[in-house]
Amino acid sequence: MDAERSASLSDRIKAWLQYPLPQHGISRVIHRLTRIGSPAFKDRAIRDFVRRFGVDMSEAAEPDPTAYPTFNAFFTRSLRAGVRPIAMETDAVASPVDGAVSQLGAVEDGRIFQAKGQGFSALELLGSDTESAALFRDGSFATLYLSPKDYHRIHMPVSGTLRKMLHVPGRLFSVNPPTTRAVPRLFARNERVACLFDTDAGPMALVMVGAMNVASIETVWAGEITPPQRRSVCVWNYKAGEFRLGKGAEAGRFNMGSTVILLFAKDRIRWEADYGPGSVVRMGRRLATKL
């Protein structure tokens, strides 16, 4: 499949062109532009985006593109009730997002597979937090890519209680398949927000990875985490029971799209056999089974 190919010369050129770019500066400009409320600007931008990427507005709670006050409000649009039923079986782990599987499988000796010839460690991904990384050393991971046309809110795969959140500063490379194949340790280099939960499937990490033009990541309990841009890892610890979210509840959103990485501990879940690199996922559908 496409996600399993080695990086081609074309992939490497596309990646190399991103290194010298002022990635955060570009993203901050996009942050401002996507919040312009002028109808002449935002209506045209939304219509062009819908047409270019084939966005299915019939699924949106508000199907009229001109009804959104800003482009960002359109991009983070809610869905109609019932469009994404949640797999509520007690043994079901639901997909947290709409998108496609980049990779999924086992965390092998603390390492996570990115693409052929590429990988990174759970310790790197979680901002060198050794206590958190140890929970997932031989566990399971899934990397889920959200394309521009996808729904960009992130939901809980299982019920859980938030115990820690980390903001890890970094670069903002694109996370599309060509860049994923070409940039070493991509998801451990990009800016990200990692949320650690205690769940009925054991410890779970929900990692929201930023990317080029992803000017903001936010959560329902803390609001907008990025911007501002920070120079070092920032950690928030939460009291037991302070924030508990049910399966299918909204946990956060990308203001412009990116990638979510899920981590579970060893022998706690089994990914459904139907899923592999390139498989389409829909928020709420069964992605894995609790063991």
198-248 pLDDT, tens digit each: 999 999 999 999 988 765 899 999 998 877 677 799 999 999 889 999 999
| Lookup: tokens for 225 | 């985490």
Each residue of 47-102: pLDDT tens digit? 999 999 999 999 999 999 999 999 999 999 999 999 999 999 999 999 999 999 99
Band (pLDDT 50/70/90 cuts) for residue 272 is very high
Please give the model's pTM, rounded to 2 decimal places: 0.93
Each residue of 149-197: pLDDT tens digit? 999 999 999 999 999 999 999 999 989 888 989 999 999 999 999 999 9
Domain range spanning residue 87? 1-291
d(CA 168, CA 198): 21
d(CA 191, CA 184): 15
Q: Which of 105, 127, 143 is nearest to 260 (CA)?
A: 143
> So what's the pLDDT on residue 115?
80
Q: How far is CA 245 from CA 18, 66, 93, in A?
A: 37, 32, 14
> So what's the pLDDT on residue 4?
57
* Residue 165 CB burial class (10 angstroms; 0-12, 13-18, ≥19): buried
Band (pLDDT 50/70/90 cuts) for residue 1 is very low
Cis peptide before 227 (omega within 30 of 0): yes
Each residue of 8-62: pLDDT tens digit? 889 899 889 999 999 888 888 888 899 999 999 999 999 999 999 999 999 999 9
> So what's the pLDDT on residue 177?
86
| pLDDT surpasses 90 at 289 | yes
Q: Which of 202, 192, 203 is nearest to 133 (CA)?
A: 203
9 CB contacts (<8 Å, ≥6 apart)? none
d(CA 64, CA 166): 37
Torsion sign across C-alpha atoms 243, 123, 102, 63:
positive
User: Mean pLDDT throughout 128-153?
Assistant: 95
User: Mean pLDDT throughout 128-140?
Assistant: 96
For 127, phi then psi, to 5°, come to 65, 35
Report how many domains make up the chain.
1
d(CA 28, CA 227): 8
d(CA 23, CA 157): 31
Band (pLDDT 50/70/90 cuts) for residue 254 is confident
> So what's the pLDDT on residue 49?
95
Q: Which residues are catalytic?
A: 98, 155, 258
